[in-house]
Structure 1
Amino acid sequence: MLIWIKSRKYCAYGGKKQRMDLNHELRYGNAQHPFHLEYNRRKGHFSMATDHMHRHYELYYLFGGERNYFIKNRIYPVRAGDLVLVPSNEVHKTSDTGVPNHERIVLYFNTEYFDQMADEEAELLLTPFHNDNRVLHLAEPDKLRIEQLLYDMLREIQDQSPGYELAVRHAAALTLLFAAREVMNPKYLPSEEAVSPAAARITEIARFISEHYQEPLTLGSLSEQFYLSPSHLSRTFKKYTGLGLIEYIGITRTKEAQRLLRETDERITVISELSGFENFSHFEKVFKSFSRMSPRSYRSGFRRKKT
């Protein structure tokens, strides 16, 4: 579960710097558990490689560095001290800003995590993910509070003292509660930092794709639509979203297909057409590449969970 790479970390607790020896990487649990987390301190340049869309609710905190975070159809510049909230099944990816080195933690919660709670408690802890803004700039005192909470949790995972799993689960719930209160309290600072003209243009294109996924969309047609050369559009889209343009179109259509498979009784061939795929064989190939299962298996698996 743990990757042991020794290094030193300093953290501010109550205005005093205390030395903490943390590994470069720490993990707790895995994707099959109701809750799991990943912590990394990365050197150099890095862009997220996989898992652009999954059923987990994701809480991301950036301790240091800066990132671009693409969520659904918008680019968010993320800086140290920012809290990022990604709802279940939302297209997302982090990418490099050109500034090397960053330190982050990601907490993943699946639906089973919230099913264990009373309805009112689950509703409260899901509040951050129902907020329109995906990135919160925290005020300085709140940065100290959440960093102490998160670093204490990481210390428990690394030391594995008796009862550490209980302490980790407790800290995870407190982190969600912290995020919920930040969203509900008007003192929180929404992230409205302006993006570059190029990033704003890419956001416009991503929103166009999310609204017109049922129509034929190609690199050529989009480059004409937005008066950009195909090479420039392809390169710039990848730079700011971390995703290839055709990849993003496929993910957007797959997400709609998943929704229809969950919520309707339409035949799978019809769902393929409604989701914008040009033919059924292409639909199956793209759906399986992003969902890691066939459309039929996805539908039957979802219905088994409901019964």
Structure 2
Amino acid sequence: MSQRFYSAKNLDVLEFEAANEWGYPRHKHNFFELTYILKGSGQHLLNDSTIEYKKGDLFFLTPKDEHEFIVNEPTTFGIIKFTEQLFLEKANLSSSTHWRKNLDTVIFYSNNIPKSIIAYEGDRTQLFWLYELIKNEIENTLVYSRDVLLDLFGALLVVVSRNLKSSLTKSEKSYKSEKEKIDSILTYVRQNLLDKELIKIKSIAENFYMSPNYVSVFIKKHAGISIQQYVLKTKIEMAKRLLKQTNLNISQIADKTGFSDSSHFNKIFKKYTGNNPSVFR
């Protein structure tokens, strides 16, 4: 059984050189990872595939993926690690719907691309520049660093998404089990939480090639909760993070989490947590 590695930070960068051996056992993560090949060559063992890697390659890994590297020539790896929480933070702060419409590409389909994800040669330079900019900002923290990092991260993921999309079509969606499918549906709901159209039963059904009449039954059967309850529960979890991690007032948090007004937000929050938002804070 492979090991699972964990990260306490929602965004981090690691760079190291492997002269002869990668130095890690075959493993999975609780986070997403972009692995840049800054120099060297060898093989990348990703899930059931073996891929030759070389300088200039970029691999995208999700928590579902299992991998290890076999080093042939001394290799320098650059790694950007980030969590699902960072997606939510970026989406909450963005006024653009572009993010929410493209997150599903990053979340769901990456496992289907065992090779380097760079499809457009012109994007290679941009992706490596963004790595260096993010690395430098993390290593040299200044005022507004968090804002700078979120904007750089947003740009990075949009370019990554563009390259992933070039290699995928909807017909390529496949799930090894019903658990994997329900996990993907619930992730889709979380990432599009504030777009009422995208989380309607009809939209979910179209995205996952299901009958609209069966979507609710499928979710209730495998998640033990209705889609409406799951949406409210996820909004409350988002609100709890905003209450603890930001200085936004109650009305602002109600608005950011998609409630009609602060009164409705207070009522639902107390129902799910037993406390008013102000008391929880």
Structure with the larger helix share: 2
Q: TM-score, normalized by length of structure 2?
A: 0.49
